[in-house]
């Protein structure tokens, strides 16, 4: 989710493992959890 979002927003592709890809993965996971909680709490 994070890699797709960063590519969509123009940050470039995420490949390999480095601090940038880790941050993108964490942000993507937070977005997924946020959306899940919003849907679940309806």
Give tens-digit pLDDT for 1-42.
Answer: 666 766 766 666 666 777 877 888 888 889 889 999 999 987
pLDDT for residue 39? 94
pLDDT for residue 35? 93
Phi/psi-derived region of residue 10, left when phi > 0, alpha when psi is between -120 and 50, beta in every other case: left
0.85 exceeded by the pTM?
no
Spatial distance between the Cα atoms of 12 and 8, rounded to a whole number of angstroms: 8
């Amino acid at each position: 989710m994070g890699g797709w979002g960063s590519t969509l927003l123009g940050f470039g592709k995420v490949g390999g493992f480095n601090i940038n890809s880790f941050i993108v993965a964490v942000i993507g996971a937070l977005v997924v959890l946020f959306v899940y909680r919003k849907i679940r709490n309806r």
